[in-house]
Structure 1
Amino acid sequence: MRKIIHIDMDAFFASVEQRDNPELRGLPIVVSYDQPRSVVTTASYEARPFGVHSAMPIAQAKKRCPHIVIVEPHFYRYKEVSAQIHSVFHEYTDLVEPISLDEAFLDVTDNKKDISLAIDIAKEIKQKILEQTGLTASAGISYNKFLAKIASDIRKPNGIFTVHPDKALDFIARLPIENFWGVGPKTAERMHRMGIFTGEHLRAVSLAHLKQVFGKAGEIYYSFARGIDNRPVEPYRERKSVGCEETFVEDVHTEAQIVIRLYHIILELVKRLAKNNFEGHTLVLKIKWDARNQITRSITSEKILRTKDQILPLAKYLLHETEYRTRPIRLLGLSVTNHRTEGDRFAEWVEGELDFKD
């Protein structure tokens, strides 16, 4: 039986800011930019009782907590601290799968210190992180990634929770469907309409029905409801895309403004592609009209997309496939990916123009 630990730092960005700035300790803070369209990246635990949470618009956070303190992010510092934390992980195993700067999976089935119990490893890691960084972390332990991830949220902050194999099915049965990995608000709402509110309800639905409603994701939900997750902890995670986007302070209305913004996003995208040495064939355009409505369009080229001259005509084509002339735009983004989605247009260069194939 595998021994998987999921480590999740507690309110990481906010905790780093409070550690480095003693005057912020004990105050409700959010890490964000104080701009109309900004969103909260992290909320301190002092801010959370007011209903403030990550991904919330900063304007809404101010309404819920009028005395909220907004701290601009220092990403270079978060990366430094993250490197310290990951060096602790590697003292115990090289099977470390980073999920983000502040969380990772560890497979400690065969660990460097020959410690038999995963909970003892988790306790040591938490203590070393505290000693070396002054920050707390929460840990979840189980026999697969799905359960370890959920377990790390059970006793936050600064807690440890274990889901034992012999108790996993009972644990899953009581679990709200919103807590399942991969179930977002829209999927949860759809499941609620099907009468699915807990893991027990989900387990009662046939595989055929779940696949019919949710496609390939239905197979994942079916397995998770039964405590099955065979994904290994992968130390190297291949980058699947490189992108950038801009949220405008004021909605962009005119065609000229939109094309200029698109051009500057392309220039930034080209820089990021070069920096990451990324090779992809599919360009994805993302447009957000408002908080609830957004679209994506994609197109695939036979050539690797590296330069402005390669990307610009594709981006313009995708833009013209949208309603960009008729509605103000809040956010515009572009990304290059290796993944081709079903229904993509396929393009190649013919005498300097785009030739589209089925």
Structure 2
Amino acid sequence: MEVDGINIPLRKIIHVDMDAFYASVEQMDNPELKGKPVAVGGAEKRGVVSAASYEARKYGVRSAISGYLAKKRCPDIIFVKPRFERYREISQKIRNIFYEYTDLVEPLALDEAYLDVTQNKKGNPSATKIAREIRKRIFDEIGLTASAGISINKFVAKIASDYNKPNGQKTVNPEEVINFLEQLDIKKFYGVGKVTAEKMYQHGIFTGLDLKTKSLEYLETHFGKSGSHYYHIVRGIHTSEVKPHRTPKSVGAERTFSENLTSEIFMLEKLTNIAQELEKRLKKNNIAGKTITLKIKYSTFEQQTRSKTLSYFVADKHLILETAKELLYQQKPEDSVRLLGISLSNLNTDKKEKQTPEKPIQVQLKFEF
């Protein structure tokens, strides 16, 4: 497939996304919750919703909103504490099903993954049929529903998986990709957040077609490095491969407090615990890093980050804490603090990927999706 003189490899990519995963697991394990509005997370004043059932979503309850707001929108909502070990257990069972079809599985989180089934273990030429079979097996063997998007690259497959949720799927065939992207609302482009969407609106960009009318130079001028990305994806050019062994770019730990912190002494006390938790995660995975980032979220919900890069790798809590302390004292907090976090990036797991030219897949006249 050739677009703007660029050879695009025709892959068969499936993006599988579990439906309200955490909440659905809770409803599956506790039948009394079925059909009821459920939120996984804290109900207290500082609690945050990690996931919401579809019954709760009807009332505007979404992940990342406060438990207080969730209760306000849906007075009958039932809060349950998250059980991440259980979610990981179920996630592994789902991935085991994926691996029966292909080894090219790239998990994005516990509840979603990309699969490259261009050449698959079942010898099935139809990615659409494979996606349907996988979804049926997840339901029959585990008891949960999943949605899927199928297309020629990860970007389009990711967007398509959200189209017929819950418990549905959508295939965007090779000849449909361009029209599909042109008709798409710009805020539905994966990676275009609320702030970027607002900025695009100011430039008269409301759909993929509007985006396509802008030149590469124009997009790079107004959107920086991301401009080139936007220019190519709206033309169906996205050559990122499904990477089975994704290494983390950063490792972090953070805490939201029941009461706002106004004293730096109390903040240091909390940072000590956070650094200790971070050290555990680093040592468990044999990871170290050079760049330490302090995250501060104020009571106004404004967020600030401060970073420092060392000349050596660290994983020790004392060294991490000393740098975090230095970053904290760089500037006096602007307001009371509701959340603190420390993350480590520039890791010893980072590897520069070889820049090899894309080799287009040899496609027969019939490329079944």
Task: Tell me the TM-score range normalised by the shorter chain.
Answer: over 0.9
2-side partners of 1:91 and 1:105: how far apart?
14
Match of 1:329 among 337, 340, 346: 337
Could you say what secondary structure the match of 1:131 adopts? helix
The residue aligned with 2:147 is: 138
Structure 2 residue 58 is matched with structure 1 residue 75: no
Alignment of structure 1 residues 186-335 onto 2, 5 Å: 186-324=195-333, 326-335=334-343
The residue aligned with 1:356 is: none
Q: What TM-score comes out, normalization by structure 2 length?
A: 0.90
Q: Determine if contact 2:287/2:347 at 8 Å carries over to the other structure.
A: no
Could you say what secondary structure the match of 2:247 adopts? coil
- Per-residue CA deviations over 1:116-139 (Å, capped at 9, x if unaligned) read 110110111011111111001001
Could you say what secondary structure the match of 1:166 adopts? helix
Tell me the percent identity: 52
| Aligned residue identity for 1:76 | E
The Cα shift of 1:291 comes to 4.9
Q: Determine if contact 2:150/2:160 at 8 Å carries over to the other structure.
A: yes
- Per-residue CA deviations over 1:140-171 (Å, capped at 9, x if unaligned) read 00000000000000000110100111111111
Could you say what secondary structure the match of 1:332 adopts? strand
Match of 1:43 among 30, 48, 52: 52
Task: Give runs of ≥4 in structure 1 deviating > 4 Å.
Answer: none
Could you say what secondary structure the match of 1:47 adopts? helix
1-side partners of 2:44 and 2:226: how far apart?
37
Structure 2 residue 76 is matched with structure 1 residue 105: no
Structure 1 range deviating more: 312-321 or 126-135: 312-321
The Cα shift of 1:36 comes to 1.4
Aligned CA-pair RMSD: 1.3
The Cα shift of 1:258 comes to 1.2
2-side partners of 1:69 and 1:153: how far apart?
25
Structure 2 residue 55 is matched with structure 1 residue 59: no
2-side partners of 1:72 and 1:291: how far apart?
26
Could you say what secondary structure the match of 1:296 adopts? strand
The residue aligned with 1:346 is: none
The residue aligned with 1:351 is: none
2-side partners of 1:156 and 1:304: how far apart?
43
Structure 2 residue 48 is matched with structure 1 residue 31: no
Q: Determine if contact 2:260/2:299 at 8 Å carries over to the other structure.
A: no
Could you say what secondary structure the match of 2:305 adopts? strand
The Cα shift of 1:232 comes to 0.2
May I ask how many residue pairs the two structures share in their alignment?
Answer: 339
List gaps (5 residues or longer) in structure 2: 1-9, 349-369
| Aligned residue identity for 1:15 | S
Could you say what secondary structure the match of 1:302 adopts? strand
- Per-residue CA deviations over 1:188-237 (Å, capped at 9, x if unaligned) read 11111111111111111111121122211111111111111100000000
The Cα shift of 1:339 comes to 6.6
2-side partners of 1:306 and 1:339: how far apart?
10
1-side partners of 2:264 and 2:60: how far apart?
39
The residue aligned with 2:99 is: 90
Q: What TM-score comes out, normalization by structure 1 length?
A: 0.92
| Aligned residue identity for 2:197 | A
2-side partners of 1:94 and 1:232: how far apart?
13
The residue aligned with 2:359 is: none
Q: Determine if contact 2:15/2:154 at 8 Å carries over to the other structure.
A: yes
1-side partners of 2:140 and 2:190: how far apart?
31
Could you say what secondary structure the match of 2:276 adopts? helix
The residue aligned with 1:176 is: 185
| Aligned residue identity for 1:329 | V
The Cα shift of 1:272 comes to 1.4
| Aligned residue identity for 1:60 | L
1-side partners of 2:225 and 2:169: how far apart?
32
The Cα shift of 1:313 comes to 2.0
| Aligned residue identity for 1:32 | G
- Per-residue CA deviations over 1:289-332 (Å, capped at 9, x if unaligned) read 135411101101112111133222211111111332x5211110
1-side partners of 2:146 and 2:35: how far apart?
18
2-side partners of 1:137 and 1:164: how far apart?
21
| Aligned residue identity for 2:232 | S
List gaps (5 residues or longer) in structure 1: 341-358
Could you say what secondary structure the match of 1:153 adopts? coil
